[in-house]
């Protein structure tokens, strides 16, 4: 079902939900970093959520190829997979950080690592409303607006997914054994 079939009041509600999610998710994630649950070892999660980031990047590229071939059904499927992978990533990421102490980077390229990490974190916050609004425009059938927003959404989302893998690969040797 397309959102364009919904009354304007309900479309307005969906927009408010997207804006609320875009504001609330980073705040909740930040707050949950202060919560520490002891006695649970989720040390295996970083490689899983790095894999989810890799899969997100892969499906984003497939989505781009599908839309270039004008296969909108396939494009929509791949984007929905990316959204699900991103949600799963976020849940696992939060679970790991609520149960584990922070890991310090001890490698030879700290400036490179911190540049990638900080840009990854900042863009991962920014990408939430950008992707959700871009998705909303397509759902509404406003494909011109969808295309304009996607010029920002796609590269930022892809960057966040790829740098998530890079950050993992750079920090992985320093995780506790």
Q: Give tens-digit pLDDT for 14-41.
A: 888 988 988 899 899 889 888 999 999 9
- Measured at the CA of 56, the angle between CA 55 and CA 59, to 5 degrees, comes to 85
pTM score? 0.90
DSSP notation for 68-107: HTT-HHHHHHHHHHHHHHHHHHHHHHHHHHHHS------S
Q: Give tens-digit pLDDT for 80-122.
A: 999 999 999 999 999 999 999 989 999 999 999 999 999 999 9
Do residues 26 and 121 touch, judged by C-beta distance below 8 A?
Answer: no
Give the C-alpha separation, 138 to 170, whole Å. 36
- Residue for token pair 């790991």: 96
Q: Tell me the three-class secondary structure of 105-126, residue by residue.
A: CCCCCHHHHHHHHHHHHHHHHH
Q: What are the CA-CA distances from residue 43 to residues 46, 98, 153 (Å)?
A: 7, 11, 31
Do residues 176 and 103 touch, judged by C-beta distance below 8 A?
Answer: yes
């Amino acid at each position: 079902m397309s959102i364009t079939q919904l009354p304007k009041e309900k479309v307005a509600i969906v927009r408010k939900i997207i804006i609320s999610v875009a504001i609330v998710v980073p705040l909740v994630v930040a707050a949950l970093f202060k919560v520490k649950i002891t006695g649970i070892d989720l040390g295996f999660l970083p490689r899983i959520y790095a894999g989810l980031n890799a899969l997100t990047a892969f499906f984003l590229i497939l989505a781009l190829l599908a839309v270039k071939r004008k296969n909108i059904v396939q494009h929509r499927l791949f984007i929905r997979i990316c959204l699900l992978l991103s949600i799963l990533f976020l849940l696992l990421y939060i679970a790991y950080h609520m149960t584990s102490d922070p890991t310090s980077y001890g490698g030879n390229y700290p400036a490179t690592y911190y540049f990638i990490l900080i840009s990854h974190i900042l863009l991962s916050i920014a990408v939430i409303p950008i992707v959700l609004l871009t998705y909303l425009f397509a759902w509404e059938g406003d494909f011109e607006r969808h295309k304009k927003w996607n010029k920002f959404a796609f590269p930022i989302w892809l960057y966040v997914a790829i740098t998530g893998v890079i950050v993992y690969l750079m920090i992985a040797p320093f995780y506790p054994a």
